Amino acid sequence: MSRHPTLAERYLAEVVGTFLLTFVGGGAAASAAILAANTKTPVTMPVVLGVALAHGLILFVIVATLGKVSGAHVNPSVTIGLASAGKFPWTDAIGYIVGQFIGATIGAFAILIVLGVEGAKVGALGAPSLAPGVGLLQGLGAEALGAFILSFAVNGTAADSRTPAGWASLAIGLALASAIIFIGPVTGAAVNPARAFGPMFADIFYGARFDWAAYLVCYLIGPIIGGVAAANLYAYIARPPCAK
């Protein structure tokens, strides 16, 4: 007889999942930045592809392993989007979001185990940043659209019981990878308020300056807008079954 995970187990699953996403995804971004600095070469599209695949593949693993426990949101914009569309209880959302921020912060510090101080001082622990010439509104729009792509995939697969078994993790991982390939050169494509916060916060301890304006506008508000829009648009056009 199957047992439903307890609320504490679901919260812990979100901590672990977001830890893995930040550790692997942020670590790949930090490694790419270090390599570019050491070789004095610009970050090219093949490098962006590698970082995108790191994020997409680890998200594939996270959803496949932890989806059965917590749904593997690992992203506040996904949690808020699902709740806004009636697919997730608001009463559980705060615990999920807190767990996601904790997991991302631990994941960012864990990158130091592999890359050392250079991972923070050169690689910024994979923290996203706006490209030169990119303003806050452009960054907001890019992050919102990236989160829209990811959240649309979540709502159309993992959150819709009509989806054939086994496809959700692949579709969601590919959605994140595709968003990063396109949006990464513009904003870093965190498309996840927790994934952005963890490395940005941890990097403060190594002399970095937390850009609150960019974080609040582009990396917090932007993804939430995209997540809410995607969840409600999918609910309108696909009419998925109500959550039990």
In a domain, 62, yes or no: yes
Give the mean pLDDT of 89-106. Answer: 98
* pLDDT for the residue numbered 242: 61
Inter-residue contact 229 to 148 (CB < 8 Å) = yes
Instruction: Check pLDDT > 80 for residue 1.
Output: no
In a domain, 244, yes or no: no
* pLDDT for the residue numbered 92: 97
Instruction: Express each pLDDT in 167-192 by its tens digit.
Output: 999 999 999 999 999 999 999 999 99
In a domain, 128, yes or no: yes
Q: How confident is the model at residue 3 (pLDDT cuts 50, 70, 90)?
A: confident
In a domain, 243, yes or no: no
CATH code at position 39? 1.20.1080.10
Tokens of 80: 């808020």
The alpha carbons of the chain give a radius of gyration, in whole angstroms, of: 17
Instruction: Express each pLDDT in 124-170 by its tens digit.
Output: 999 999 999 999 999 999 999 999 999 999 999 999 889 888 899 99
Q: Nearest 5°: CA angle at 86, between 85 and 89? A: 125
Inter-residue contact 56 to 176 (CB < 8 Å) = yes
In a domain, 54, yes or no: yes
User: What's the number of domains the chain is made of?
Assistant: 1
Instruction: Express each pLDDT in 13-44 by its tens digit.
Output: 999 999 999 999 999 999 999 999 998 888 88
